[in-house]
Amino acid sequence: MQTGSSCIKNVEFVTSVYSLKDLPAELPVEIAFAGRSNVGKSSLLNAIFGTRKYVKVSSRPGFTQSLNFFLINRQAYFVDLPGYGYAKAPRKVIQKWQRLIEGYLQERSTLKGVVCIFDIRRGVDELDMGLINYLQSIKVTPWVVFNKADKLSNNKIRANLERATLLLPELPVPPFVVSAKTKKGVSRFLEQVICPFLKEIDS
Ligand SMILES: Nc1nc2c(ncn2[C@@H]2O[C@H](COP(=O)(O)OP(=O)(O)OP(=O)(O)O)[C@@H](O)[C@H]2O)c(=O)[nH]1
Ligand SMILES: [Mg+2]
């Protein structure tokens, strides 16, 4: 599929993985998208891909239960991770997801970083901090993106961002604020974080 973005020229869905033994062979670059259930991971991927139809978006939380691999420009993987924190999921299911996600994050040596998506209305909570701290403990770069900016006024966005930033540890790149719905902020995030990796393998 052709896309509109400057550095994402081609996207192909490759596979949904439910078990670590089914992970595809590594490519030079892999970037994962993580966050609470319903925060808009799949929607952000669609915004990045320049289409609404590519990744399934949930009408109910807890929709994405597998690791979904997308092949970008035939040489990198973007991975849509299952959302955490869905209170209604059975304990066994939560434990299985956790093992799958943690195993995945530890195992992928070509993982360049994880896009950690949070809701700008809610800021960061204990589970979100747990994700950031876990990534830092295994030396994987977290990139923080606050989504659903279309739901708040600019003043409220500024206040929430300030409050959330105080809670977060020092990050390699300051947080981004985007709306997967209106696409506001998405191209800036792409150009500053994602495109450099894709351009690196191009050259
Ligand atoms: N207003 C608004 N709604 C959004 C935005 N991003 C996502 N949504 C909505 O939020 C809901 C969840 O979006 P998804 O993209 O499926 O969220 P997800 O994080 O992939 O969810 P799981 O797969 O369950 O973990 C859907 O109804 C989306 O339309 C946004 O930027 N603004
Ligand atoms: Mg999803």
Give a yes or no: residue 3 inside a domain.
no
Give the pLDDT of residue 84: 80
Give a yes or no: residue 165 inside a domain.
yes
Ligand 1 atom at minimum distance from 58 CA: 16
Whether this prediction's pTM lies above 0.85 is answered by yes
Give the pLDDT of residue 97: 79
Tallying the residues shown for the chain, one arrives at: 203
Ligand 1 atom at minimum distance from 117 CA: 19
* CA proximity to 11, closest of 56, 57, 45: 45
Give a yes or no: residue 4 inside a domain.
no
Give the pLDDT of residue 85: 77
Task: Determine which residue's CA is closest to atom 6 belonging to ligand 1.
Answer: 40
Residues of the domain holding 196: 11-202
Give the pLDDT of residue 4: 47
What are the tokens at 163? 């409050």
Distance 129 CA to ligand 2 centre (A): 20
Distance 148 CA to ligand 1 centre (A): 8
- CATH code for the domain in which residue 92 is found: 3.40.50.300
Give a yes or no: residue 6 inside a domain.
no
How many domains does one find in the chain? 1
Tell me which of 37, 58, 63 to substitute to probe ligand 1's pocket, judged by most ligand atoms within 8 Å of the beta carbon: 58
Cβ within 8 Å of residue 29, ≥6 positions away: 75, 76, 77, 110, 112, 197, 198, 200, 201
Give a yes or no: residue 153 inside a domain.
yes
Task: Say if CB 160 and CB 166 are below 8 A apart.
Answer: no
Give the pLDDT of residue 179: 98
Give the pLDDT of residue 57: 60
Ligand 1 atom at minimum distance from 178 CA: 31
Helix (H, G, I), strand (E, B) or coil at 47: helix
Give a yes or no: residue 69 inside a domain.
yes
Consecutive 10-residue averages of pLDDT for the chain (203 residues) = 67 92 96 93 90 59 76 94 76 80 93 97 93 94 98 98 95 96 95 91 67
* CA proximity to 97, closest of 106, 108, 85: 85
Distance 96 CA to ligand 2 centre (A): 17
Distance 180 CA to ligand 2 centre (A): 12
Give a yes or no: residue 5 inside a domain.
no
Q: In whole angstroms, what is the distance from residue 104 CA to residue 151 CA? A: 33
Q: In whole angstroms, what is the distance from residue 152 CA to residue 52 CA? A: 22
Give a yes or no: residue 176 inside a domain.
yes
In short, whether 66's Cβ falls inside 6 Å of ligand 1 is no
Q: In whole angstroms, what is the distance from residue 142 CA to residue 187 CA? A: 18
Give the pLDDT of residue 202: 67
